[in-house]
Amino acid sequence: MNFLELVKARYSVRNYEHRAVEQEKLDYIMECVRLSPSAVNCQPWRFAVVTEPDRLASLKRAYSREWIQSAPCIIVACGNHAEAWHRKSDNKDHTDVDVSIAVEHLCLAAAEIGLGTCWVCNFDTECCREAMGLPDELEPIALIPLGYPADKTVPEKKRKDLKDILL
């Protein structure tokens, strides 16, 4: 699969098979996450790979959509603003940029090995903090459910035309 094929293969999976993801696949994905670039190489991120049933059930309460119940694993992507690069000219905090790059590495690595993911940002951060026992300095930025897609058809990509995004 070349890179364009991989980009096309990744889509938001909202229905997962009830089977665990093998540890070696989790390790592969997290190695791709670990090697992600970040501003000034600050790596202002922490990730929790949640598969333990009680913890997973508590975490799922942070996102009220029924479909997330099918996920056998959720990766919690957190940022530490104190560790991130802040641009000198305007003090822009790059935590979200860095964590987003790492999360997209996660999603593409998963797609490459036949696994599905879905970015979830519309979650209750306090509920997530509580379920995970997160320290104050970590902000939960995205929840990424991970598992084998239950539906095998890749939906059509609805995107703006290139002419509409080029300046």
Ligand X SMILES: Cc1cc2nc3c(=O)[nH]c(=O)nc-3n(C[C@H](O)[C@H](O)[C@H](O)COP(=O)(O)O)c2cc1C
Binding site residues, ligand X, CB under 6 A: 11-12, 118-122, 157
CB nearest ligand X: which residue? Answer: 122
Q: At closest approach, how far in Å is the CB of 140 from ligand X?
A: 12
Name the residue nearer to ligand X (CB basis): 54 or 155.
155
Residue 86 DSSP symbol: B
Q: At closest approach, how far in Å is the CB of 101 from ligand X?
A: 12
Name the residue nearer to ligand X (CB basis): 22 or 65.
65
Mutual angle of helices 125-132 and 53-60, in 10-degree steps: 160
Name the residue nearer to ligand X (CB basis): 24 or 156.
156
Name the residue nearer to ligand X (CB basis): 72 or 145.
145
Q: At closest approach, how far in Å is the CB of 11 from ligand X?
A: 4
Instruction: Tell me the β-bridge partners of 73.
Output: 146
Which strand (E) or helix (H) includes residue 146? strand 139-147
Q: How far apart are CA 73 and CA 137, in angstroms?
A: 24
What is residue 85's three-state secondary structure?
coil
Instruction: Tell me the β-bridge partners of 93.
Output: 86
Q: What residue has token string 């959509």?
A: 65
Q: How far apart are CA 76 and CA 136, in angstroms?
A: 15
Q: At closest approach, how far in Å is the CB of 119 from ligand X?
A: 3
Q: At closest approach, how far in Å is the CB of 24 from ligand X?
A: 25
Name the residue nearer to ligand X (CB basis): 88 or 121.
121
Q: How far apart are CA 56 and CA 147, in angstroms?
A: 13
